[in-house]
Structure 1
Amino acid sequence: MYSQEEPYSQSDSQTYLAGFVMANIVGLKYYSGTISGREMVGLVREPLNPYDTNAIRVLNTQSLQVGHIERPVAAVLSPLIDAQLIIVEAIVQTTANSRFSNNKFRIPCQIHIFAHISCFDAVHDAFNDSPVHFISHSDPSFTLSHSVAVKETRADNTATKTTDTTTSNNNLDQIFKLVRQNLNLAEKNRIAEPLNPPSNIIKSELLQHQKEALAWLFRRENSEDLPPFWEEKEGNFVNVLTNYQTNTRPEPLRGGIFADCMGLGKTLTLLSLIAFDKMQMKSGKKRSRSSVVETNGTLIVCPPSVISTWITQLEEHTNRGALKAYMYYGDRRTKDVEELRKYDIVLTTYATLGIELRWPDTAVKKLGWRRIVLDEAHTIKNVNAGQSQAVIALNAKRRWAVTGTPIQNGSYDLFSLMAFLHFEPFSIKSYWHSLVQRPLNQGKQTGLSRLQVLMAAISLRRTKENALVGLPPKIVETCYVELSCEERKLYDEVKDEIKSLMMHYDYSDRLVFSYSTILSMILRLRQICADLSMCPLDFKSCLFSSTDIEDVSKNPELLQTLVRMLQDGEDFDCPICLCPPSDIVITCCAHIFCRECILKTLQRSNSCCPLCRRPLSESDLFSAPPESFKTDTTELSSPEIRSSTKVSTLIKLLTESRDHNPATKSVVFSQFRKMLLLLEEPLKAAGFKTLRLDGTMNAKQRAHVIEQFQLSEVNEPMILLASLRASSTGINLTAASRVYLMEPWWNPAVEEQAMDRVHRIGQKEEVKIVRLIAKNSIEEKILMLQEKKKEITSKGSGRRSKDIAGMGIDDLRFVLGE
């Protein structure tokens, strides 16, 4: 959440062309990929290559490997790439068929090197210490570059801002414009015929917008059209963006992004697609003779909390036994491929596939799936995470990324979805950067236009307003709370400590050295706003004022502080995978990661902390004691603990709601599990029956709580105390019509997801949402940052929002300002 920079976030900052090198692509005879002329090629690091840890693979537009960059050049580039100092893009400049050129064992190319201006010196130094000739803009040979950035420099004598390395920007944007026109024409000429699923499988009646979605999904799955940006010319097929040519017709892009707003019934629509397709399929289909065994089944990948939703939806909407489902999860994972082939649906989780990433012979990997559905697909927003790589590598004829929030932190989130969909060339990182990400980072309108064309080409997105589903209204109110004198006094003390500490920093890079100290202190500010009881009695021991680099190996108190921080709040993400950390480790430099994520990072030859660049080895990692995350409820239920201002306000609001309508059910969301525990006693004293749903529960326990809450009997609990993270995806809470948010979340998308657990299809009552915000506090500033974040995501900005996904020093000064 507060990371200075995500380890793969070179895309976040504006980069410039530092220069280029001439290099050879070698090893051509070992790979099937070809290059047909002057075209862009993709460069992919291969740090685990057994023959060369500096290896850089070269891919063509169709993701086929052509060869490797020759070793001397790779030896210089790879450490810079691994340290996230540069982004590289390559272009083969010959116009002849490179397979039949004078030298059939190598292909010359230009590798253009982009970096933030602050990294230029490091790039120059790296090449000065090597035999590789680096051609910067001061070199006379710079005019030989085939990069458009160079042409722009000569044309208008401006700074060498990065652009594309194929053809001119004008030509590229003409191509995107033409694709948009063709999409609009195709949509206009196509008769929108809504589909109904077979009644012998689906027993529920679909709403009109679901029937239309079913038709769109089925049409895309059975398309024979060329993929977007491909044209047929004189018997050959050409990718108009990269100039790649082939005489083999590219496979249609069967699938896409199903991005309807949360609560519109995407699960039922997908079940209807599976049912309709099952009805359409011919019987007696021949098995594939390839090494991949074919199946007519659908693999559904989702977070653990969503599995129960799929099971419930199957029971509610399908005739018994019409669709056979198998749970590939936990101890129930079969090794028998033939067993899995018996089922129409196989349910599994991202974590399960992540665990199996390096297992070569799992049943899921051996199968060629008829379709793969990624539910809550934004889970794979970091393409480098193990679970992301696992789903990308699976075999399937049809691929669907399903999410109501395809962009959470910035447009770079979409790259992992492109990689999963195998939407070439955008599924290759260097192409994505060159064609989409860079113009977006520069704030150019062309970047936004290109992104919109891409989304129009492969996605379906309807909101509750334009889907005409007849949902009752949703009203969001902000209830401002005045902190008590005791709360305000403590709040101001902590705030002054933080501001005093920050005065020592002259530049933002120093912030990362006391990252965990400031993180802990900000956490305390937020806890004080919610309830003083959440702060430990010795909380001032957390307020270190030293500006030295933190070292937990020499500071056991700091290690304990970090453990407490992880225990107290659930809104911390691993800075590498951007997901809640699993098997948590704390580095000696006081940073927190998933064990798998940081170990993978340390496999690189220049192993260092991804946040502060401090040299790091496996011996510098400390495990967080698992028992530290267990909260003793007896400590929280002491009658001597006085309710906070927020708790008192909440009880008042709930009492008013009960007096108005005793049948009204409410959900109280908090990101602090301690807060949920603290609420149980005062709510019980006020006469309320409660249930609790938090991240410590397994899928079965969560399903039981949700089922109990949905019951309409008078004596059932009327209030659900729910963890924001555990309840933000995939569950149905339509029994409630009131929602209370005890504190603001850094990422507004998570809040929206939680709200839409209540405001969704099946809701009969007007939904009222109340946000409790402490006046004149960090919470008000978080609301402002949320608005900035919403603006960024609504415009499709290329920048990952550091105000939410990572706190820069300017953001800290803002939230702590007067």
Structure 2
Amino acid sequence: MDTIRDLAQLLLPNDEPSFHVRDPDGLRIVVLKQFRFHKSLNIELYDASLTQAGKIKNPLRSLTSQDASLYSKDTNALIFYSGISQFQYPPPASKPGVDIRALKSIIKNPLGLRFFYHDPKFSETVSAGSLTEVKVGRVVSKLSLLINKEDHFYLVTPQLKVGDALLHPKQVPLMFGYFVLHLDDLYLVPDVYMMKLLRYFATRVSMQVTEQQFPAFTEQVLSKLEDKVQVIHTYIKAATKDQVEEAGLSGAMEKIIYLSDLNQYVMINPVMRYGSIEVPIRSNKAIYLPDIRGRMMAMQRDTAGEDNFLALLLRQHPLFSEQLEDGLTYFYLHRDRFLDEDWFQENFMQWREAGISVFGFSQLKGNKKNPNKANISVHVQSGLNWFNTKIKIIFGNQAVALKQLQLAARNKSRYVRLDDGTLGILPESWIEKMADFFFAAEIVGADLRIPNSRFELIAQLTEDARHNENGMSMEGLVTVDIDDKVKAAVEHYGRRLSDISAIESVSVPRGLKTTLRNYQVQGLNWLCFLGKHQFGGILADDMGLGKTVQVIALMLYLKENKIAGTNLVVAPTSVIFNWQAEIKRYAPDLTVYILHGAERKKSVVDFDNYDVVLTSYGTLLYDINYLKDYQFGYVFLDESQQIKNIGSQRYDAVRLLQSQNRLAITGTPIENNTFDLYAQLSFVNPGLLGDSRYFREVYSIPIDKFEDTRRAKELQRKVAPFILRRTKDAVAWELPDKTEQVLLCPMGDSQRTVYDAYEQELRDYLEGRIKDDSLRASIHVLRGLTQLRQICNDPRLLKADQVQGSGSSKIEALMEQIDSKSVSHKILVFSQFVSMLDLVATELEKTGIKYVKLTGATTNRKAMVDQFQNDPEARVFLLSLKAGGMGLNLTAASYVYLIDPWWNPAVEAQAIDRAYRIGQHKNVQAIRLICPGTIEEKIMLLHESKKARLAGLVKSGKSIVGNMTMEDWREVLGG
């Protein structure tokens, strides 16, 4: 077993972590010295204490650059310490260029440290006595080579500018290989060219070159030095003003940028051209040119012009300022950064505006981009039912074909291929603003035809142009010219459709047999305004606000004013006869043709004789082959959400219909998601929302999946003029407390046969007992009436063998209603007959719609109610009229269906009030299912004819049955 001492040695470190604690009254210094054996530059950091006189004193505590930078967060300080680390250890090989770059970061001294150099003659090790303070921070300004012509040779003499002094290199010692010492300052030698020259002339006053050697010396040596050092031929005289003018050099010099590949970078080389000589503006090159007589003259460089040229480049990228320290004659950027459209296009434009010629762009490796910015002009003129828009796009001298521009917009691409093979780059902001043009428009020749329904696009262009005195918009890239007639039309549409009360009023049709409420009159005005300007729309008023009567009023208005021909109404099967009844009730002057049923005539030959053709979506699918060839005045789609699936046959079929105008009618334009709107609006206003892919990517996915409020507001602005929706809350002061309507359910042939047989039997009974008001006779009549009501619901309720398989129009209509409404709404279904609820339950199970059922046999009433109220999957609540009519709060429901009318209207009202009560925030629609031509319809008519009496009965809660005589029943049965 290990001893405690052994464990201590194994588990504990031999040395405690040491921490360098800096004297708060001391200072940190930088010491320049040489490595002992390598003789190369060594830079070290020390922390020193101070004497009372402020001088450093021993001991000096050394530290590495890593220790010094450990807790620093300042970027400049980290670069400073990184530079020092390069000189703290002996280098493996001499790299003067790399060292000079590091020294430039050191002499910036962002921390303001004091610099010293160590004199090894005083002591081998660094101590307070071996250090001499020096100033650093500047570089050698200039090195010139002065060339004098002697008898048979040329004399080359160096001249060094250090600070303000002009010195010979022999006068200033080269220290540590990189600095020259002048007075108490160390000046950094800025590049390796100057370094070699200083070393050469450190032991020489001058250099002699013979006349025979001089041409080769100029070509092989001086030409390579003159960009870095100034080569001055003292024997060549300065050009006179006359010489400059004679040589044609008195004007502005040509500014040029040469572009070329540099590995993964692009070299940007700015030069000024003086006659036949090109001078890099970052060089020290002197200019020598022959005059017209062939004599050499020294020409002055355009310092102000070159400085402006350089200043422009330095403003264009922050890296260029940093690269000034590199001593290169060119700038450089990584290829990806250079070819970024937002950079090079903007800067190319600035170069051209400054009169700079650019060469080499198209030769860059892998580059097909056109350097020019797009010059775009838009001119909008008025057409028949559209805006004629001319768009012209030019890159330099290359024009873009309109088809290619449309392709780019549809693909969300900024690139368009030009005739010279390059790719023009469209500004991103322009693509985003103008993409709608190409999704909405049709290309006709050289024009875009934009439907009038897209007037908001032109309005936006007008607004852009208005905000700039020169008519320029979209970052100055697009010139917008819009005709006055177009501006007036756009303003007219926008003002009227943004405020329904601003729409001019029309006369309510004389033949309308009802009084329209104020909001319904406004709805008629809106519909007429749309029709006048050939806009389609969606009438999306809340359920129960009278959408049908507004449309009937429109059709009657069109007839009385001889505006349109035959109109087509497409509706669910269950409401076709409601339309027929409502038209007969409110506009009996309108002639109606029913295109429905197995015996219908499959031809349009009779259509011209009618004002309205009523058909179902199912019939439309069967008959579309001949319906598509008829020109209707209007096509109205009732419950238009039924075409929301653009992949459905219904959508394809209605799109084939021809008409002067189109209108969709629905209380729920959006059931599931934003895309529900697309099919309906693309039917009534083709082109309004672009194609389906565009709408899905730009609006549907961002809004529904990512809750993009900007896109939602944008879509709302676009569709708002063409959707009229009023809620009960907005017009509640004009409405009754709850909305009730009747859904007519015509019987099929077999169901009608059963009903007629039982009705005749009851009629015969009544004929023989006109004066018999005995209780026994009344019970017999009530039993017969109940049988008739059961047949209206479903003949199977009689449980008689002869009626099996005879069908139920009510179940068919109810299921169609539930299928369309249960997606967005919860539904109550009431019936007096539990057996009828059982049949409905069977149908719901077939379709997979979850339901809850409550009858007199239900014991856990509260659990059933809670499930319906709180379970989002439970869409339908089946209730017997007695069990569900009282004591329940079912505010989750917004639709109430009464399968069979009850004799006591008060009981019905109580049933409806299960949903329409305090706490209800949704609109409630109560719908009675009535079989036309039966006792149910006749009882409803009897209610209408005896309103005062029935109102009293409702208030008292008494059943109408108790007040009926045999004569009344005979009247009900049509006897």
Given the two structures, how large is their TM-score scaled by the length of structure 1?
A: 0.38
Q: Is the radius of gyration larger for structure 1 or structure 2?
A: 2
Considering Cα pairs closer than 8 Å and 6+ residues apart, tell me whether 1 or 2 has the greater RCO. 1
Greater fraction strand: 2
Given the two structures, how large is their TM-score scaled by the length of structure 2?
A: 0.33
